[in-house]
């Protein structure tokens, strides 16, 4: 009887260990969740590392939700038959990160009021935002990219900055991307890993 109980414990342990190994294997990470810009701020705020959070927080993107309550936004909304732009899917789809995604795609740390946050351009961060993942650079490719980090392109911006937007202006990637540029300074990755 003791031998059978021991065998059950060993098999159960092996099954649990296999489950953990599978969950951590590339391509089988848990479904990503939006964690919010505050999680990005933890590492991307210092000037030495590029102050990416500061650049974002001072941009129009960080105030995209708030701007929907301004008189100008209310005027545009009224002309389009929208009563409250801060509750309208038509407006929120471009003014709030991840709008329209199921509730389970958002971590408790996420807030709509952050507007167009880091994860709008870089993808939901729950699987890549940790220091362990972000600092693991192998063969020139960051492990973060394997876990869902995306680098934006003109197509990323064109989802909202297009002829359908109230401004009617399409994105000019060459000029407009410089307005929101927030690169990681050369050597900052290896410096941070120390």
Q: What is the DSSP letter of 169?
A: P
* Same domain? 128 vs 105: yes
Q: What pLDDT was estimated at residue 55?
A: 94
* Same domain? 45 vs 21: no
* Same domain? 170 vs 78: yes
pLDDT averaged over every residue in the chain: 83
- Least Cα distance to 24 among 101, 96, 132, 121 occurs for 132
Q: What pLDDT was estimated at residue 167?
A: 77
* Same domain? 46 vs 10: no
Residue 20 has pLDDT above 50, yes or no: no
SS (H, E, C) 97-129: CCCCCCHHHECCCCCHHHCCCHHHHHCCCCCCC
* Same domain? 47 vs 9: no
* Same domain? 10 vs 74: no
Q: What is the DSSP letter of 180?
A: S
More confidently predicted of 140 and 58: 58
User: What distance in Å separates the CA atoms of residue 190 and residue 107, rounded to the nearest whole number?
Assistant: 29
pTM over 0.85: no
Per the structure, the count of domains in the chain is 2
* Same domain? 2 vs 72: no
User: What distance in Å separates the CA atoms of residue 82 and residue 17, rounded to the nearest whole number?
Assistant: 53
Domain with 118 in it: 34-193
Confidence of residue 28 (pLDDT cuts 50, 70, 90): low
33 close to 126: Cβ distance less than 8 angstroms: yes
101 close to 160: Cβ distance less than 8 angstroms: no
* Same domain? 176 vs 92: yes
| Cα 167-169-174 angle, rounded to 5 deg | 140
Q: What is the CATH number of the domain that holds 74?
A: 1.10.1130.10
Residue corresponding to tokens 């408790």: 108
* Same domain? 92 vs 110: yes
* Same domain? 187 vs 169: yes
| Structure-block tokens of residue 187 | 């050597």
* Same domain? 17 vs 104: no
* Same domain? 87 vs 1: no
- Least Cα distance to 59 among 15, 3, 120 occurs for 120
């Amino acid at each position: 009887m003791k031998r059978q109980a021991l065998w059950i414990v060993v098999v159960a342990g092996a099954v649990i260990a296999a489950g953990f190994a599978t969950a951590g294997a590339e391509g089988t990470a848990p479904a990503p969740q939006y964690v919010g810009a505050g999680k990005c701020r933890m590492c991307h705020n210092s000037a030495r590392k590029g102050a990416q959070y500061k650049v974002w927080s001072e941009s129009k993107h960080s105030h995209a939700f708030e701007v929907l309550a301004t008189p100008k936004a209310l005027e545009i909304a009224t002309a389009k038959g929208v009563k409250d732009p801060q509750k309208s899917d038509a407006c929120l789809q471009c003014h709030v990160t991840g709008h329209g995604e199921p509730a389970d795609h958002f971590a408790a740390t996420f807030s709509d009021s952050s507007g167009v946050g880091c994860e709008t351009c870089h993808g939901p961060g729950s699987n890549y935002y940790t220091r362990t993942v972000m600092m693991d650079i192998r063969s020139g490719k960051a492990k973060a990219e394997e876990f869902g980090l995306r680098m934006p392109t003109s197509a990323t911006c064109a989802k909202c900055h297009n002829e359908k937007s109230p401004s009617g202006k399409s994105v000019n990637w060459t000029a407009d991307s410089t307005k929101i540029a927030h690169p990681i300074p050369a050597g900052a990755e290896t410096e941070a890993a120390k």
